[in-house]
Amino acid sequence: MSAKISFFKSVEQYVDKAASYTDIPRGLVEQIRVCNLVLQIRFPIRVGDDYQVIEAYRVQHSHHRLPTKGGIRYAESVDQDEVMALASLMTYKCALVDVPFGGAKGGIRINPANYTVEQLQNITRRYTTELIKKNFIGPGIDVPAPDYGTGPREMAWILDTYQAFRHGEIDSIGCVTGKPVTQNGIRGRAEATGRGVFYGIRECMSHADDMKKLGLSPGIAGKTIVVQGLGNVGYNAAIISQLEGDAKIIGIAEREGSIHDPKGIDIDKLMAFRKETGSIIGYPGSTHIGGPSAALELECDILIPAALENQITIDNAERIKAKIIAEAANGPITAYADPILLKKGILILPDFYINAGGVTVSYFEWLKNLSHHRFGRIQNRFQHNAFEGILNKVEEMTGKQITKRDRDFLTRGGTELELVNSGLEDTMITSYQQIRETFLQNNKIPDIRTAAFVSSMNKIASDYISMGIFP
Ligand code: NAD
């Protein structure tokens, strides 16, 4: 068997496996699985004295809920299969964490490092124009967000282009999420995916019975972690696990190779070192152990692949020694490698659960944009006064005075960041509990990924059935 499997086929295999544990009619499983709309785009951009034809895609996987939602990736790996797979994962992800969107994804087949900022802006604006022309973007139609190789800067260009064409459309700022905070973005979005990875791992590790089966004590504190990819998702997952979870990061992989230090690596110091030297190799105290995939094979409690898909295949699956794998990237484990890891007793937290923090906070941003005011603006002062009133009454009835510190704490409304993080934390905890319940309720369901697909597919099927399409 070849180690290679198409990414979309890989997702389809997981879906087929999960479908056998549901009562969803076959035709409806087929409808859930297929991509509803695929847009292939080719457009020219000027590079120096010549032109280059740019290949790009936008796929809307499922219209069972609208708008559709999903990031835009800039990478040389982008092709139709990859974007279809990523769009379909978005559908299962949104349903799983109760974000009321269908799944979508976009991609431009470029290495952003090969272009100037001006050229990247031209490419992004032209791509957005194509989406507008085909009615593939809009706050009620399809709402992009950042993904691999893109960030708030690209989202700001998309918003500006959209607004130039849709001048006066009152909800236009909700046409894209992951925008800079100053451009109608939301605090906490940039680190949301990595933060969600941390909350998800912490929740999973809080179940003592499950941890016992892995030979681990409950809790993330003191556990050893290896991370592949120190980008948006990997960096935030690592630094939050280190600072808020007290976990020990012992291995890191980046494009230039892998490093190991069993005593622990300070992530912020490593980032500063990489900025200065251009590489993680040579970081004081660490050992260079090989190429970008070498760290995946380190002995550790938790492995967080946070770079790209197809990193753990049948070629290296046997050599993986982690007890838990948190798929922070989309599709880092192929469908062929998955059973090998499960046979080894590894607990896999699937991508469409563990990296759902980004779309969850994107949903909060979209809600904020459509409501045209920031969270807390209307009710914070009212709540503050109401709580003051209660505390005054308590003092009057007990004859005891509440300290200023306690009073300030008890009467304050949450900031936007606190509200976002608490909504994210609640989503990751509740969703894991739902997956775990599905897993425990049916003892035939073999693993957490399958349980997550069952939970998600049942919700999507119920949407279709309630539409009256599949009675
Ligand atoms: P990013 O571009 O910010 O970071 C990716 C990092 O991986 C970079 O530092 C890059 O140098 C590194 N990398 C690339 N190839 C590597 C290799 N072979 N070995 C080691 N490191 C390598 O991208 P991101 O936004 O962090 O996305 C990473 C993954 O997370 C992708 O699969 C993406 O689809 C997924 N994801 C991202 C978000 C988000 O909000 N950004 C949300 C959900 C899922």
- Report whether pLDDT(223) > 60: yes
Say which CATH topology domain 186-376+414-471 has.
Rossmann fold (3.40.50)
- Weakest-pLDDT range from 64-68, 124-128, 380-384, 456-460: 380-384
Q: Is the peptide bond before 100 cis (omega within 30 degrees of 0)?
A: no
Please report which confidence band the pLDDT of residue 2 belongs to, taking 50, 70 and 90 as the band edges.
Answer: low
Predicted pLDDT of residue 3? 59
Instruction: Kindly state the helix (H) or strand (E) to which residue 304 belongs, with its residue range.
Output: strand 302-305
Sketch the domain layout of the chain as residue ranges.
Answer: 36-183, 186-376+414-471
pLDDT (average), residues 421-441: 97
Q: What is the Cα–Cα distance from 25 to 27, expressed in whole angstroms?
A: 6
Residue 1 has pLDDT above 60, yes or no: no
pLDDT of residue 152: 97
Q: What is the mean pLDDT of residues 207-221?
A: 98
The CA distance from 160 to 363, in Å, is: 20
**Model confidence pLDDT, tens digit, residues 224-274:** 999 999 999 999 999 999 999 999 999 999 999 999 999 999 999 999 999
Protein residue with its CA nearest to atom 35 in ligand 1? 329
CATH class of this structure's domain 36-183: alpha beta
Find the catalytic residue in 17, 105, 323, 368.
Answer: 105
**pLDDT for the residue 137:** 98
Q: Is 400 helix (H, G, I), strand (E, B) or coil?
A: coil
pLDDT, residue 77, reads: 94
- Single-letter amino acid, residue 452: A
105 carries an active-site annotation: yes
DSSP state of 65: S
Give just the sign of the alpha carbon dihedral 333, 337, 341, 347.
positive
**What's the pLDDT band for 100 if we cut at 50, 70, 90?**
very high
Q: Is the dihedral of CA 454, 460, 464, 467 positive or negative?
A: positive
Mean residue pLDDT of the chain comes to: 96
What residue type is assigned to position 31 of the chain?
Answer: Q
As a whole number, mean pLDDT of residues 391-396 equals 95
Q: How high is the pLDDT of residue 377?
A: 82
From ligand 1's centre to the CA of 442, what distance in Å? 34
Structure token digits, residue 392: 């005054």
Domains 36-183 and 186-376+414-471 share a fold: yes
Region 316-330: mean pLDDT is: 97
Q: How much is the pTM?
A: 0.94
Q: Could you read off the pLDDT of 438-469 as tens digits, one per residue?
A: 999 999 999 999 999 999 999 999 999 988 76
Instruction: Average the pLDDT over 280-301 and give the result.
Output: 98
Torsion of CA 56, 3, 337, 12, to 10 degrees: 50
- Cβ-in-10-Å burial (0-12, 13-18, 19+) of 55 comes to middle
Give me the residue label for tokens 């794998």.
325
Q: What is the CA radius of gyration of the chain?
A: 23
C-beta of 360 in contact with ligand 1 (< 6 A): no
Which of 21-25, 31-35, 159-163, 380-384 has the lowest average pLDDT?
380-384
Q: Are 185 and 365 in contact (CB under 8 A)?
A: yes
Write down the pLDDT at residue 412: 85
Q: Is the CB of 355 under 6 A from ligand 1?
A: yes
Distance 164 CA to ligand 1 centre (A): 31
- For residues 197 and 237, the answer to whether their CB atoms sit within 8 Å is yes
Ligand 1 lined by 191 (C-beta under 6 Å): no
How many other CB atoms sit within 10 Å of the CB of residue 181? 15
The position carrying tokens 């950042």 is: 146
